[in-house]
Amino acid sequence: MTEMNEEQARIRGYLQSQAAKLTPAELMAKVRADMAQLEDAVTAAGRVDSTRRPGESDWSVNEVLAHIVDSSGRVNSAIRSAVEDGTKPAPLGDAITATAIAKAPRQWFEQLRDERDGLFRRLERATGSEHLDVAWKHPMFGDLNWREWLLFLRIHDLDHARQLQGIVATLQA
């Protein structure tokens, strides 16, 4: 990983301080609350052609949602491994990958919600202190423990909610 810029360092500091201060239930509540903003963006995205890219180098709604579901699934699995048995997950990348799967935006969101609910059910039994020494690499924010990764899901959702809003605005213009 290259040296963090000021914005990355600020976000990392936020992840570390809030994850250390809040209980797992409070962290999950933050993620759930901000999923509502993602859901609003998904609802709006249902009014456009979700496979159409607004520009040649841009992502389509479908690609963004496939990325969110894929990334979240990998983070969920990594968190579970760290919490349950202290296994250090492999570093996780954050890049768009082509998908041949096309789903309605709502279907992608329901899949994300179902997978998150499964993670949250598992974390409801966590004390919050399980294997906090286990950290794995985020491509922009360095090594994070499972609580920090959990809070990262919030940032990831909000970032892509804004991206979806931009795509929809461009396609509707």
- Which pLDDT tens digits describe the chain residue by residue (173 residues)? 568 899 999 999 999 999 999 999 999 999 999 999 999 999 999 999 999 999 998 999 999 999 999 999 999 999 999 999 999 988 777 666 667 889 999 999 999 999 999 999 999 999 999 999 999 999 999 999 999 999 999 999 999 999 999 999 999 98
Predicted local confidence at residue 91, as pLDDT: 79
CATH of the domain at 152: 1.20.120.450
Q: Is residue 137 part of a domain?
A: yes
Q: Is residue 164 part of a domain?
A: yes
| CA-CA-CA-CA dihedral for 73, 124, 20, 18, to nearest 10 | 70
Q: Is residue 21 part of a domain?
A: yes
Structural tokens at position 128: 């919050």
Predicted local confidence at residue 96, as pLDDT: 67
Predicted local confidence at residue 129, as pLDDT: 95
Q: Which of 31, 113, 96 is nearest to 57 (CA)?
A: 96
Q: Is residue 153 part of a domain?
A: yes
In terms of residue numbers, what domain contains 72? 6-172
Predicted local confidence at residue 100, as pLDDT: 81
The secondary structure of 127-139, three-state, reads CCCCCCCCEEEEC
Q: Is residue 62 part of a domain?
A: yes
Domain count, the chain: 1
Q: Is residue 1 part of a domain?
A: no
The secondary structure of 61-103, three-state, reads HHHHHHHHHHHHHHHHHHHHHHHHHCCCCCCCCCCCCCCCCCC
Q: Is residue 159 part of a domain?
A: yes
48 to each of 28, 55, 57, how far by Cα in Å? Answer: 31, 14, 18
CB-based contacts of 164, cutoff 8 Å, min separation 6: 38, 41, 42, 44, 45, 61, 64, 65
| CA-CA-CA-CA dihedral for 105, 164, 95, 84, to nearest 10 | -60
Predicted local confidence at residue 2, as pLDDT: 65
Predicted local confidence at residue 94, as pLDDT: 66
Predicted local confidence at residue 68, as pLDDT: 95
Q: Please give the model's pTM, rounded to 2 decimal places.
A: 0.93
